[in-house]
Amino acid sequence: MEYGYFFTGFPGFISNQLIREVLRKNDGKGKFHVLVLPNMVEKAETERVAIIQDFSLDESQFEIIKGDITFSGLAIDQEKQAQLESAVTHIFHLAAIYDLAVPKGIAYRVNVDGTRNVNEWVKTLKNLKRYTYFSTGYVAGKREGILYEDELIKPPGFKNYYEETKYEAEVLVDALKSEVPVTIIRPGIVKGHSTTGETIKFDGPYFIMNFIDRLSFMPFLPKLGKGDTVVNLVPVDYIIEATTYLSFSDKGAGKTYHLTDPKPYKVSELYEMMMYELLKKQPKGAVPLVLAKGGLNFRVIRRYLGVEKEALDYFTWRGSFDSSQAQDDLKDSGINCPDFKEGIAAMAAFYRENKHKTQYQIDII
């Protein structure tokens, strides 16, 4: 039987890269169906043409389907739905709002209600082999200490509505494990490609680079807080390669994986590496995070520095992701999380070359 792949979240960067990796691993075989919001069809078509050309695909192998996960049945035309019921063998659900400052109502509608609708749609498929759902390691919320892949424990609180709604959505997907073959992916904070530095938005770890770059005119730059906690940064290529492998491996069914750095660096170490690569300087002194966060209450300062105050919560959070299950199941694949230090030069170079044309957003996966 020919595989049929269904993706939400297209033409987003990770969805786009995941499709490309699936094509590489399967020698360009199979049919690809991407669910696209009506107002994103033009951009999606541009990406579709690029993928068809890059992989020498037949036009019929890649189909854009207008729809919306916030509607029952994903707002897919009934005739098309009848075709998909038998054609789709693998679904990758990535569509969500990845915004630390997202309002509660919007977050619940897209991340929770949208995922509920996708779950119901998945159950209509007759030949499903795998349902891969993109969650986040930060479903842990304000829980701290060692966090395990087989845990899905409601935390005492959340740092933002993004975390809260991704937790609630994962609960819904986790409940499906007894009915369909589910693989849940929990990435850490995503950064650009480990060797090229490529990314489409400077969010997450790039907030530190934004801060350093905007204040580079100063005679010296201080650290933000004590910097003694770790921040788990993961290159996008590791997430893409590991997800593809685990989604097609029999051992991946029914499991949840932390695609996180098993050897993350402290905030202070990351800050020093970034500053050296950008300015060839070392930080001097420190600004208390309370003071920094207070300054970021002002929109004009946030915009100038390219930093959102919600991001600072991750500089003091003391959670540690155990990724033993992911490491064990990836052991025979040759796929490993690259050391952050090895990719910092490419990360900084790409930032310098593209900081004026890459969209400013406040996303996290």
Which one, of 254, 239, 20, lies nearest residue 137 by Cα?
239
Stated as kind and residue range, the H or E segment containing 275 is: helix 267-279
- 64 — alpha (psi -120 to 50), left (phi > 0) or beta? beta
If 0-12 CB within 10 Å is exposed, 13-18 middle and 19+ buried, where does residue 174 land? middle
Which one, of 132, 128, 112, lies nearest residue 254 by Cα?
132
| Sequential DSSP letters for 45-102 | HHHHHHHHHHHT--GGGEEEEE--TTSGGGG--HHHHHHHHHH--EEEE--S---TT-
Cα separation, 203 vs 261, in Å, equals: 18
Each residue's pLDDT, cut to its tens digit, for the chain (365 residues) gives 789 999 999 999 999 999 999 999 999 999 999 999 999 999 999 999 999 999 999 999 999 999 999 999 999 999 999 999 999 999 999 999 988 889 999 999 999 999 999 999 999 999 999 999 999 999 999 999 999 999 999 999 999 999 999 999 999 999 999 999 999 999 999 999 999 999 888 877 888 898 889 888 888 888 777 778 999 999 999 999 999 999 999 999 999 999 999 999 999 999 999 999 999 999 888 777 766 667 777 677 777 777 777 788 888 899 999 999 999 999 999 999 999 999 999 999 999 999 876 543 333 33
Please state the pTM of the whole predicted model. Answer: 0.93
**pLDDT computed for residue 362 by the predictor:** 34
Cα separation, 249 vs 112, in Å, equals: 27
Cα separation, 288 vs 219, in Å, equals: 19
